Amino acid sequence: MGHQAFLVRTVAAAAAVALAVSLAGCVRNPGDTRGDLSKYSAPVKIKSKSETMLEERGASSSVPIVQIHRSDYVAAGDVARAIGLHGQWLKDGAYGIGSEDPEWTFRTGESEVRLGAKAERMPAPAVKMSNRLYIPAAALSALFGRVATFGHEGSRIAFYPQPAKVRSEAAKLPFSDAKQNGNIRSLSAGGSKYDSLIDDAKKFLGVRYDFGTGNYADTGTFDCSSFVQYLFGHYGVNLPRTAREQGQEGTAVSRDSLQTGDLLFFSVPGRFKSDSTPGHVGIYMGNGSMIHSSPQPNDGVQISDINSSYWQDHFLFAKRIPLP
């Protein structure tokens, strides 16, 4: 009996020693919070949103090169996707590329490219194959140099975004109507004609958005700039077709002096999209509201609150177009 008790005490003591050694090892284990973890880990750097955006903007996109007639070509649709734009065949047979309206218009077999009312000539004509449009790679810099730079990478062409411009906080202030003697003026920039224009615009609420659409009478659809062009055309004003060109018309208006009928111009977010070039246009209704044709957040003609963060962040400028 005494011998058995001795064995029990010996086994218990050995188990205690083993447990102590095991626990000591756990303390040295980096997974145990009681140990010194500093020598096992390094500080974790969390990237800010701006750092992440800058890193993304610095990354490249690329498209494959295709040999056509012994020359380097790229698919226009691939180019549009690579730089975050929209590209598609239009109803008149042309091919359009742009943000929310076609800024660049190509035609099969032609070297001339339309940039709104202006024209740019490519070194070779556009070619259509398997329902895809191909354009000369040598024309990319002249056509899209304001949004990207380019470089050959073997059998592909890489696209690199142009540096983003930092917008001031003053450019994100709330919108407001014009005031006179401390009171809000009449909401109309030119009296009842602008009120009538807005009333007419409301009649098209819900009409579907279609990138690069043709005449409303033929298509029954609008994109952002064709909607503006259509409405002002009925009041005797012949505006250009794209938002970028429309932004060159009229008189500049500050964001705190808006009146009904003013045109509001916005950039469209994206790595390759210019922060200073209009990609969208709408018509100011007064009291912080805008009527416009857009694919988002709803599809078609809609009314939006321009004091929401999205529109404040992407507002570029306002223009006042006189009605005769």
In the chain (324 residues long), the average pLDDT of successive 10-residue segments reads 46 43 37 40 42 41 94 96 92 94 96 91 97 97 88 90 61 68 47 91 98 95 98 97 95 94 90 72 96 94 95 94 95
Q: Where are the alpha helices (H) located in 34-180, listed in sequence order?
A: 49-58, 76-82, 140-144
- Cβ-contact 53, 112 below 8 angstroms: no
- Cβ-contact 292, 268 below 8 angstroms: no
Look at residues 100, 91, 84, 94 and name the one whose alpha carbon lies nearest to residue 135.
94
- Cβ-contact 75, 63 below 8 angstroms: yes
Segment (H or E) for 21: helix 2-28
Both tokens of 176, joined, read: 């407001």
Specify the pLDDT at position 163. 67
Q: Is the pTM of this model over 0.85?
A: no
Specify the pLDDT at position 285. 97
Structure confidence by residue, pLDDT tens digits, 219-277: 999 999 999 999 999 999 999 999 999 999 999 999 999 999 999 999 987 655 556 78
Both tokens of 320, joined, read: 């006042």
Please identify which residue in the block is written with the tokens 């503006």.
Answer: 228
d(CA 319, CA 101): 19
* Domains along the chain with CATH numbers: 59-161 (3.30.457.10), 171-320 (3.90.1720.10)
Please identify which residue in the block is written with the tokens 């050959």.
Answer: 152
- Cβ-contact 201, 239 below 8 angstroms: no
Specify the pLDDT at position 177. 81
Specify the pLDDT at position 12. 47
Structure confidence by residue, pLDDT tens digits, 59-70: 458 999 999 999
Specify the pLDDT at position 276. 76
d(CA 233, CA 250): 15
Residue 252, amino acid:
A
Both tokens of 130, joined, read: 């398997």
